[in-house]
Structure 1
Amino acid sequence: MHGRQQASERGWPVTRKRWPKAVLLTSVVALGAGGVTVAAQGLGGSDNPAASRPDRAAPATSAVSRSNLSASTLMPGELGYGEPVTVEGRMPGTITWLPGPGTTVSRGQKLYEVDTQPVSLMYGSTPMYRDLKQGVEGPDVEQLNSNLRALGYEAPDSDEYTWQTTAAVRAWQEKKEMKETGEVKKGQILFTAGAVRVAGLEAAVGGPATGKILTRSDQVKSVSVSLEIKDRDLVKKGAKVDVLLPGGRTVAGTVKQVQTVIPPGDDGPQGGGQGEKPKTKVAARIEIADQKALTDLDAATVDVKFTKATAEQALSVPVTALVALTDGGYGVEAVENGTVRRIPVKIGLFAQGRVEITGDGLREGMNVVVPQ
């Protein structure tokens, strides 16, 4: 009786049903390349909201908080200038000048020289597949006219190689100290989507100007990620991601390109056995706006954080605050005025060691019991 009186003075109820055998709740929260497993252990028992604890010492608690939850996963990626593309010479002659690796070449600048004549870079999607001269027309002529205008020459806004185009080409050739023919020979211009970076050299000065000359890559650094086909939903064009750099720095990135890569078939090793066929992959290219943050890194292995799901302004508690109820479902034990009462809850998103919960009687700032 004396012991019961002391417990009553502490404000804690002195009677409760004995807890049945403990029940284990496990939730996997994808926070790393392999995932992180977080286990919450709760004691089964009556799910009566008025159920109480007989503990004589105040239990450890954590507050119910309201915030944006984000479940994410980390995937390895490679920082670099993208996959190099080989540039092949189309003009007969001898290479008389080559740029150094790492050189950036923009519209109107020379990429290399053949017989002291420059092979220039211009922007466009149609490759140069023929000689361009007065009287021809087509998308290649239209992009030539567009480039000449961008460089300050008076070329027509059309897909026709007119006398105006001829005059603009002569003016361009004069400025570049080229032979002023008014025509552009096949291979005299390389059309690309934008400025390029010289990744490496495939030929040498004095060598033939046909065949492999150099390799080019993107001008800016980006991140390439290869994923399993089952993770296709993680990468969507335009999605925002975080890129974790060596040393702990984080920069923002945007998914700019997503491709499904189907490898060629594999007949397996020789000798009659069958080898495992290459798997279809998803390749994503991530653009980094803050190029200054990458100044000290030309190539590096990085981690990319992809968001799997979000819950905005959700009530959440530590995963370990969940208890399993005897008739199914889960609850939390709220501490109010020195009394512990159980509140049944519905669980939602698991993220960052917390779980989204909803239920009658829940409110932000409420304290719930967590295991010590």
Structure 2
Amino acid sequence: METPGVTTVGLGLCVMLLITGSNGSVCYPAVESLDLGCLLRWDCPQASPNTTYTVQTKTQGGPWQDVPWCVWVSSRSCDVSQAFSNLELYNMIRLGVHLSPSSTVWMKPRKFDYSDFTFSPPSVSASLKDDQLLVKVQYPCAANRRCSPGRCCPISELIDPWTTVTVYNEHNHSEYQSRTVWTQEVVSHVDFSGLAPGQNYCAVANFSFPTFSIAASPKSAPQCVTIVSKSGTGLISLLLVPLVTVFLRRHRQAAPTTDNQPKIPSSVHDPVSLVPLSPVPVDPCHIHLEFADDQMSIDSSSKRDQTSTHTSDPLRHDPSSGAAYWDSGGMKLVSASHLCLTL
């Protein structure tokens, strides 16, 4: 049976072996990872200020390789984010301490995997479409420097995360819906239906590294919307219909009628002026025909009160027949009595 004291001593010795070089120098390396980045830091209390270091990495099935920007450096950190192209394979890091130009002590290799990953929370936006709540999830920019400078590369460009979106009633958290999707696009879209009208609903989301739920992000800040009540929409419609009806009636009353619109005058070049037919029968004895230069004009006795352009009165009366004649100024006239007799 092992005693607690012996177990503690054994663990301490194991830790010292991991971080102690062959010459007894001790370094304390640590890995920091945020949004798929990888930063190696180390502390070597017994090393002199002039000591230099080299960092190497190794991917499953490959050899150890120098990190080009971290060879013979005096700093105590190295960003190795660009050194790993496939984060789903086994990746290793080791630190070398240069005691002299020809002597390098390598610390115990350290793995770099999903257990080191930490993530920033995603951001969500919520909107309504018909009776559905649409939730859009955007991922943080990857710290991995494979992206061009000044450009944000969402982590979903480097991995396919599992994304969980939860929608809950703001005033009753026991009412909620949750969906988990495997995101293969840069942005995730998740739809929710069956929400109660007139209630406020909030959406939150988080994501995790593929197949490793232990490496998960915190939840996003909630985004809340109000589901429009159908009864409220109907009430608004009932209020708007009378207003629209009154507006249309006023618009029709203000529109000019066809009786008030100007009439198109007949052309002055027409040889015959067309007069609308009257429904009252016209006595043929009251119609006079006059012929001049192969032109014919029809005049009704109802137009005898029109003003003539001649200086003398062209209307002459025949006492014997009781008929009136127009002075045509040289035209041949047919009397009304003759016309009646002919008809």
Q: TM-score range by the shorter chain?
A: under 0.3
Q: Which has the higher strand share?
A: 1
Which of the pair has the greater relative contact order for Cα pairs under 8 Å at 6+ separation? 1
TM-score scaled to structure 2, two decimals?
0.21
Highest Rg: 1 or 2?
A: 2
